[in-house]
Chain A
Amino acid sequence: MGLKTALHDTHILQGAKIVDFGGWEMPLHYGSQIEEHHAVRRDAGMFDVSHMGVIDLTGDRVRDFLRRVLANDVGRLTIPGKALYSCMLLPGGGVIDDLIVYFISDTWFRVVVNAGTRDKDLAWIRRHAADFAVTVALHQDLAMIAIQGPNAREKTLPLLAPPQRVSARELPPFCAAAFDSWFVARTGYTGEDGFEVMLPADEAAKTWNALRAQGIQPAGLGARDTLRLEAGMNLYGNDMDEHHHPLESGLAWTVAFEPGDRDFIGRQALENLRGAAADQLVGLILEERGVLRSHQKVAAGLLTGEVTSGTFSPTMNRSIALARVPRTAALGVQVEIRGKMHAARIVKPPFVRHGKVLIPV
């Protein structure tokens, strides 16, 4: 049996098809993954993301610690509540994990990491935290619900107490606020507006059902994957991993080389690779019928690459993918699907943002 979130029984009652994900029993869908996808793009949907690891880092030197251990620079976070997306790198530049870090105060940062990498992340963080006298605490007492879609915030706000409602309503994008035991962030993984709410596990089922009563559609990992891929967001383990560095994974924008004297782990390796990376991560649109899937071969003339994430886009009614290809590849490529070559086109993600298709099909 896998690990279960505080919402597991609620999912079963609401008809979820459950699958294993990183050792956790999680909902794949509640009937139709495509309807759940459309609900998020057009109205509001919610995901149980309690399997993700919430780690609190505290101490006087916590900022210095994170400036050492993350490739993006928390020195850029000056307003409490502001969030930053970053990779955590091996010395050779490979990606240990991607994460979101929230700046709460000068002595308290909160990090949210992937479920499947949580244990190795914790080990890595603890190993380096000792040098900075930073205390590392994994939360086992929290649930997390991501409410996403154009109407997600309006439908969520009535559930908050009046003073909190005002603060949450005024949160700028990519910012969070801590209210006693709740933590509300205007972040997500779908390309839509919304909140990610961390709350005590014993309040999760009641809150989930209240959100549902507001007309918010429960959605599973299936829709989460099609939404994030349309939004051009990487999935750890598919689009980057310990064997692929950020510069060949579409994540150069998350590596802060400036200021030049910040000595983050992986910096030296990336300095050497800068401008010299042979491969890049690109978007693909399949020009023919069929479905792109991870590990399919991409042929660009004599050069070859590989699909890292592929799916059918419900918003575009077309198959889309992320693929790692040589930087010199021409825009027209061929993808091998079950032994046959199919025409595809290299594009720049995202494919869809805020309900709008950004790339003509």
Chain B
Amino acid sequence: MSNIPSDLRYTKSHEWVRRQHGEAPNGTVEIGISDHAQSALGDLVFVEVPEAGRAVRAGEACAVVESVKAASDVYSPVSGKVIAGNAALASQPELLNQDPYGAGWLFRVQTNSPLEEAALMSAADYANYLADEAG
């Protein structure tokens, strides 16, 4: 069973979203990939995160995670402006395997629309979604 923290929200493409502080249009969220996603990808060897200042739309591919086997896009679950990418992942992509919800975060976005409008699942819904996907 993969780890699914209950205080985060999730997408069908296996990103997680953590509300950091504040509400749209100035609130910020942190985004990463789920424990299930890092486990399915295997050992990660290269991560490319967006640069601060980049405008992103919900559903836009804006980071790349590559395992030994394959490259995968990571989609921003929300619209807004990137305020930071996790620079540590450039030299230590394995942080994403070791701590997907902590040190392995990918990027932070200042949102311009309420989080409630984004297509996000609760931890319980995401757990059911994974169970359905596996079934």
A interface residue numbers (CB < 8 A to B): 17, 28-29, 32-34, 222, 226, 289-291, 293, 311-312, 314, 319, 338
CA distance A97 to B68 in the complex (A): 26
Can you identify 30 A-B contacts, CB atoms within 8 angstroms? A17-B42, A28-B42, A28-B69, A29-B42, A32-B42, A33-B42, A33-B43, A33-B69, A34-B43, A34-B45, A34-B68, A222-B68, A222-B69, A226-B68, A289-B46, A289-B48, A289-B90, A290-B48, A290-B66, A291-B46, A291-B71, A293-B70, A293-B71, A311-B68, A312-B46, A312-B66, A312-B68, A314-B68, A319-B46, A338-B71
CA distance A32 to B68 in the complex (A): 10
B103 contacts partner chain A, Cβ-Cβ < 8 Å? no
> Does A291 lie within 8 Å of B45, measured CB to CB?
yes
**Distance to closest chain B CB from A315 (angstroms):** 12
**Distance to closest chain A CB from B86 (angstroms):** 15
Complex interface: chain A residues within 8 A of B48 (CB): 289-290
Main secondary structure of the interface of A (DSSP, over half): mixed
B64 contacts partner chain A, Cβ-Cβ < 8 Å? yes
Complex interface: chain B residues within 8 A of A312 (CB): 45-46, 66, 68
> Does B68 lie within 8 Å of A338, measured CB to CB?
no
CA distance A289 to B66 in the complex (A): 11
Complex interface: chain B residues within 8 A of A34 (CB): 43, 45, 68
CA distance A311 to B71 in the complex (A): 11
> Does A338 lie within 8 Å of B64, measured CB to CB?
yes
Specify which of A32, A226, A291, A314 is in contact with B66 (CB 8 Å cutoff).
A291
**Distance to closest chain A CB from B66 (angstroms):** 5
CA distance A14 to B99 in the complex (A): 24
**Distance to closest chain A CB from B105 (angstroms):** 19
Give the 10 A-B residue pairs with the shortest CB-CB distance, closest first: A312-B45, A34-B43, A291-B66, A291-B46, A312-B68, A33-B43, A33-B68, A32-B43, A33-B42, A222-B68
Which residue of chain A lies nearest to B61 when distances are taken between CB atoms in the complex? A338
CA distance A22 to B105 in the complex (A): 36
Complex interface: chain B residues within 8 A of A338 (CB): 64, 71
Q: Which of B80-116 contact A (CB under 8 A)?
A: 90
Complex interface: chain A residues within 8 A of B90 (CB): 289
CA distance A121 to B46 in the complex (A): 38
Question: Which of A17, A32, A34, A319 has the most chain B CB within a 10 Å cutoff?
Answer: A34
CA distance A296 to B64 in the complex (A): 16
**Distance to closest chain A CB from B28 (angstroms):** 27
